[in-house]
Structure 1
Amino acid sequence: MSEPSPTPPRRRGRVLRICAALLVLSGVAAYLVVQYVTGGGAARGCKVVSATDERTSYEFTPEQAGNAATIAAVGTGRGMPLRAVTIALATALQESGLRNIQHGDRDSLGLFQQRPSQGWGSEDQIMDPAYASGIFYAHLARVPDYTELPLTVAAQKVQRSGFPEAYAKHESDATLLATALTGYSAATLTCDGRSMRATGAEAGPDAVRTALVRDFGRDALQETGAEVGGTTVPSPSPSPSVTATARGRTVTVPVPQGNTTDASGRDERERGWQLAQWAVANSSALRISRVTYAGQEWTASNGGGNWHPAPGAGTAGSESSPTSVRIVTGP
């Protein structure tokens, strides 16, 4: 029996090239899958633009926007200054990319990669963005003169990371996000709302009210009562009012009046803009279709969902009062 002839060199070279091409394609596919899952290559959906230079911006996903809004809301609800919110956002950008991830180094979890074994809380607590933000601020507040420290030093005193210089690279983005999400910069955060119907999260006025209280706390919101379906509800633990309209169900959130500044150093208008932009950041998860405040309106749109003058702004009976933020869900 004759021995089989060896594979001709030309054919062997073609097989090797095909195998190499398949390996490259597999690598590209794997990369795209990872980027999609983590949000790195997904359609961004949300954007913050500098109030002083439109060329400076930061684009991120609805998930990242909602988490960033929670971090900012918990901070101002605790009376933490803008610098503290900037430090917290830079830390979360470095640790998790503003994603509430269920894995990390050893037993690290969540937005800030906090470890249950190191006394940060239970796994369930750490995976709650509001809790994780609150415990971060609690530790930051114990750092002497943290507002005067370089951002990376202040963050490291809380995190004790193996890469202490890593936080500094996120300072400019964190500053941009913090000024928008605390209300210092008005109408600078937009989301397109394209994922509104794709999300499986709870939606509607009740979900909006629950999320507001979760992030800001009842004391921070300072509501005085609620009206649901035309019936006044006694409110030892007050919540925003809800009314039904032809365009959907509206949650009206009063903006605290009568104080020049709050515990975070912001005035009434800045507090209102924080609430308004918090709603936009959460528009996908809560299926919010319209937000109105201080003569400006945001509407969910596949084309971008930008802020624009509200219909009838400046006229008697207008919905664009600076004393409340109107959040429409649905229709």
Structure 2
Amino acid sequence: MSEPSPTRPKRRGRLIRFAAALLVLCGVAAYLVVQYVTGGGGARGCKVVPASGHGSSYEFTPEQAENAATIAAVGTGRGMPRRAVAIALATSLQESGLLNIEHGDRDSLGLFQQRPSQGWGTERQIMDPAYAAGMFYAHLAKVPDYPDLPLTVAAQRVQRSGYPEAYAKHEPDATLLAAALTGYAAATLTCDGRPRHAAPATGPQAVRDALVRDFGRDALQETGAEVGGAPVPSPSPSPSVTATAHGRTVTVAVSGSAKPDAAGRPERERGWQLAQWAVANSSALHIERVSYAGREWSVGGTSDQWRTVRSDGAGGAQSSAQAVRIVTGQ
């Protein structure tokens, strides 16, 4: 019987080292591709910081920011409190990572992984973020005393998930996001504003269309959806979507009345919700500057903060006190 060749272990060792080196090279190549696509620096694109200046911040992508802003807008448009928005955001963070995905367990789809076979709507409806969020809130509103329940319990009574405890881990981030995206925490959300690849139509008309989509239209009423056998009621049209455009600027009026809106929020919170909604949508809609209440965000060197600005006469005073000004790149 011949003895084993001493070259075989060496050859096997070289093959293992070669395979390991190849994996490392593939990893480096993938990293470089991601850095090229995202602009490098490991930046997620958008960031929310605590209003107090203390505590953890939350970084996410422009696509996630857009979806989160839609979830918040749909909630406040239906008179839901900030706690409901936090519950919805935590649910979407767990179910889809705030991404409008076209797959999931069995026939689950979208931001909340809702299932057509379980009566949540058609596939096309569920893939509409505003519709999906509206359906979530409609079911949440039927949960008795949901604002006083632990977040994971309230979310589970809507979702009927196989992993109900999973929602709890997202509560801190969802609470931070809800404070910014309902306008409760002013000037806390920023984005780098870099245009997304294959971005949809842009310009003032696209901004107005997006405002109506998120704030001024009840997607459930429009599509005839029902919850528990009863039509979902349509909220009153929001005065916050009364927008006018001049050139590249969209001016979104905030009610001049001090009277709270359907969600019980004062005017200033409504204004900050609109302003930070615009920043969250800056990449998709090519928004270059947003100003409200004497503060301004702009693409570029100051995109990571809201800076203080002076009013520019009568028009500037109105923009600062009673309206949100959104300037697009087209």
Common topology (TM > 0.5): yes
Displacement after TM superposition at 1:29 (Å): 6.3
Report 1:1-331 matches (<5 A).
Answer: 7-23=7-23, 25-26=25-26, 43-195=43-195, 198-217=197-216, 219-222=236-239, 239-244=242-247, 249-301=248-300, 304-310=303-309, 312-313=310-311, 316-318=314-316, 320-331=319-330
Change (3 A) 1:18 1:31: same
TM-score (norm 1): 0.85
What's 1:235 paired with? none
String of CA shifts for 1:162-187, please: whole Å, max 9, x gaps: 00000000001000000100000111
CA distance in structure 2 between the partners assigned to 1:31 and 1:190 by the alignment: 25
Which amino acid counterpart does residue 147 of structure 1 have in structure 2? P
Secondary structure at 1:200 match in 2: coil
Change (3 A) 1:109 1:193: same
Residues 251, 323 of structure 2: 8 Å contact kept: yes
* Distance in 2 of aligned mates of 1:315 and 1:210: 29
Amino acid at match of 2:76: T
Deviations 1:200-239 (A, max 9, x none): 211111111111011011544316xxxxxxxxxxxxxx84
What SS class does the counterpart of residue 214 from structure 2 fall into? helix
CA distance in 2, matches of 1:32, 1:100: 26
1:93 & 1:254 partners in 2: Cα distance? 31
Distance 1:26 1:321 in 2: 51
SS in 1 for 2:194: coil
In the alignment, the residues of structure 2 paired with residue 148 and residue 121 of structure 1 have an alpha-carbon distance, to the nearest angstrom, of 29
Secondary structure of the structure 1 residue equivalent to 2:288:
strand
Normalised to the residue count of structure 2, the TM-score between the two structures is: 0.85
Contact 1:180-1:188 at 8 Å conserved across structures: yes
Distance in 1 between residues matched to 2:304 and 2:203, nearest whole Å:
19
- 1:192 and 1:305 in contact (8 A); partners too: yes
Structure 2, unaligned stretches of length 5 or more? Answer: 218-235
Instruction: Work out whether residues 193 and 302 of structure 1, in 8 Å CA contact, stay in contact via their aligned partners in 2.
Output: no
Equivalent residue pairs, number: 308
Which residue of 2 is the match for residue 231 of structure 1? none
Deviations 1:30-87 (A, max 9, x none): 799899999xx96311101100134421111000000000000000000001110010
Residues 194 and 302 of structure 1 are in contact (CA less than 8 Å); yes or no, is this contact kept in structure 2?
no
Report SS of the residue matched to 1:260: coil
Offset of 1:309 from its aligned partner? 1.3
Bigger helix fraction: 2
Once the two structures are overlaid, the 10-residue window that deviates more, 204-213 or 28-37, is 28-37
Contact (CA 8 Å) 1:46, 1:62: kept in 2 or not? yes
Q: 1:298 is paired with a residue of what secondary structure?
A: strand
Which structure 1 segments of 5+ residues have no match? 224-237
Identity %: 71
Q: 1:303 to 1:53 in 2, by over 3 A?
A: closer
Contact 1:143–1:154 at 8 Å: present in 2 too?
A: yes
Cα 1:291–1:199 change in 2 (3 A) is farther
Cα distance in 1 for partners of 2:307, 2:34 equals: 36
Is the 8 Å Cα contact of residues 259 and 268 (structure 1) preserved in structure 2? yes
- Counterpart code for 1:222: P
- Indicate the larger mover: 21-30 or 203-212: 21-30
8 Å contact from structure 2 (residues 88, 136) kept in 1: yes
Q: 1:93 to 1:33 in 2, by over 3 A?
A: farther
Point out the more displaced range, 124-133 or 13-22.
13-22
